[in-house]
C-alpha cells in the first residue's frame, strides 16, 4: 500500500479539486450525492472510509450528519482538516483517523449508521485485502445500514486506453490489466512517469463488486454509473453545461438512466449501494 499512500500524499490537492475540475468531473459527485440523499438515514454517525481530503465528509456534515473520516494519506487528512475548518463543520466531524480500509479495528461492531467507501477499493489489488476490507466495512455498519462503495470501471478503463493511451494496449507490462483488471505501479513512458500509472490499482466489472458484498450478507439496492450517459464524452458534456435549460434536461436523463445495466458497465466509475 506504500505506492497508494505516496501517490495521494503527492496529489492531495489534485484529489480535492478532482470532483470540481469541470462539469464532467463534477458528475461523479452529483450522481453519488443523489444516491446518498436517497438512501442515507435522516440522521446518524457515518464513516467516510478512504475519504481522502474530505469532500464528501464536509458535504454530509453540512447536511447535519456526524462523520468520521478515515484515510491512508496523512497529507490528504492534513488538507481535510483545513477544509473542514474553513467549512465550519468541525463540530460534526467527530474523528479524523489515519488508517486503512482493510483494518477498521479501531471501530466497534455496528458503530455506524452508514458507511461510505468512495474509491479506496480501486487500490486493493490482492483478493485477500478486498475480502478483508469488505468484511470490515460490513462489520462496523449497523444492521440495516446502507453501504456506498464506488470504484473505477474495467471497461471504462479500456475505453480510456482507446481514447488517450493506445500504446498501452501493446505494452507487455499491461497484460495483467487487460486480462484481470489489475494494474501494478510502474512508471509509464506514455505518461512520463506521472499520474495513475505510478499507483497500484484494480478496475472492476460491476458483477465482481456486487458478488463480493453479497457474499458478506449485503443486500444490493442499486448500482449506478457515476458519469451516466456522459461517460467518456467530456468535451460535449462541458459544452452543454453553459446552457442551463439543456443541462437540466440532460441531468434528468442521466439520473433516470444511470442504473440501467446497459449503461452501467461502460462508465468511468460506478457506485454500489447495498444494505447490511
* Beta bridge partner(s), residue 153: 204
**What are the boundaries of each domain within the chain?**
2-275
What pLDDT, on the 0 to 100 scale, is given for residue 120? 96
CB half-sphere exposure, 273, CA atoms < 13 A: 18
Residue of 232, 135, 191 lying closest to 7 (CA atoms): 191
**Tell me: the pLDDT tens digits for 55-82?**
999 999 999 999 999 999 999 999 999 9
pLDDT of residue 266: 85
Phi-psi region for residue 228, left (φ > 0), alpha (ψ -120 to 50) or beta?
A: left
48 in helix, strand or coil? Answer: strand
- 182-183 vs 93-98, strand pairing mode: unpaired
Query: Would the pLDDT of 236 be above 70?
Result: yes
Do residues 63 and 87 lie in contact, with contact meaning Cβ atoms separated by under 8 Å?
Answer: no
How far is residue 53's CA from residue 16's CA, in Å, rounded to a whole number? 6
Distance CA 276, CA 271 (A): 16
Residue 31, CA atoms < 13 Å, CB-side half-sphere? 38
Give pLDDT tens digits for 1-29. 678 999 899 999 999 999 999 999 999 99
For 104-113, write each residue's pLDDT tens digit: 999 999 999 9
Mean pLDDT of all residues in the chain? 93
At residue 171 the predicted structure's pLDDT band, cuts being 50, 70 and 90, is confident
Per-residue pLDDT, 1: 63
Listed range (86-90, 138-142, 185-189, 215-219) with the worst mean pLDDT: 185-189
What cell does 200 get? 497500484
Residue 192 has pLDDT above 70, yes or no: no
The CATH number corresponding to 2-275 among 3.40.50.150, 3.40.50.300, 3.30.465.10, 3.40.630.10 equals 3.40.50.150
Task: Find the mean pLDDT for residues 79-90.
Answer: 98
Q: What is the rounded distance in angstroms from the CA atom of residue 16 to the CA atom of residue 108?
A: 29
Whole-number Å distance between alpha carbons of 172 and 139: 40
Mean pLDDT value of segment 102-121: 97
Amino acid at each position: 500500500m506504500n505506492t497508494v499512500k505516496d501517490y495521494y500524499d503527492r496529489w492531495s490537492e489534485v484529489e480535492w479539486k478532482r470532483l470540481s475540475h469541470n462539469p464532467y468531473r463534477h458528475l461523479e459527485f452529483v450522481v453519488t450525492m443523489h444516491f446518498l440523499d436517497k438512501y442515507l438515514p435522516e440522521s446518524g454517525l457515518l464513516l467516510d472510509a478512504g475519504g481522502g481530503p474530505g469532500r464528501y465528509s464536509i458535504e454530509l456534515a453540512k447536511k447535519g450528519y456526524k462523520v468520521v473520516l478515515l484515510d491512508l494519506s496523512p497529507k490528504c487528512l492534513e488538507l481535510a482538516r483545513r477544509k473542514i475548518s474553513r467549512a465550519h463543520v468541525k463540530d460534526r466531524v467527530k474523528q479524523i483517523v489515519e488508517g486503512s480500509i482493510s483494518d477498521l479495528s479501531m471501530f466497534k461492531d455496528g458503530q455506524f449508521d452508514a458507511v461510505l467507501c468512495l474509491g479506496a477499493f480501486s487500490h486493493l489489488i490482492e483478493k485477500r485485502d478486498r475480502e478483508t476490507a469488505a468484511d470490515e466495512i460490513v462489520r462496523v455498519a449497523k444492521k440495516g445500514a446502507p453501504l456506498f462503495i464506488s470504484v473505477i470501471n474495467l471497461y471504462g478503463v479500456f475505453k480510456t486506453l482507446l481514447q488517450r493511451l493506445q500504446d498501452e494496449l501493446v505494452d507487455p507490462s499491461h497484460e495483467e490489466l487487460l486480462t484481470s483488471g489489475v494494474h501494478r505501479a510502474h512508471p509509464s513512458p506514455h505518461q512520463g512517469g506521472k499520474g495513475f500509472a505510478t499507483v497500484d490499482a484494480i478496475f472492476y466489472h460491476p458483477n465482481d463488486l456486487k458478488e463480493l458484498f453479497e457474499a458478506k450478507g449485503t443486500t444490493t439496492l442499486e448500482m449506478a454509473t457515476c458519469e451516466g450517459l456522459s461517460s467518456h464524452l467530456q468535451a460535449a458534456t462541458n459544452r452543454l453545461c453553459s446552457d442551463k435549460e439543456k443541462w437540466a434536461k440532460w441531468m434528468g436523463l442521466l439520473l433516470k438512466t444511470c442504473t440501467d445495466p446497459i449503461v452501467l458497465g461502460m462508465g468511468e466509475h460506478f457506485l454500489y449501494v447495498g444494505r447490511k
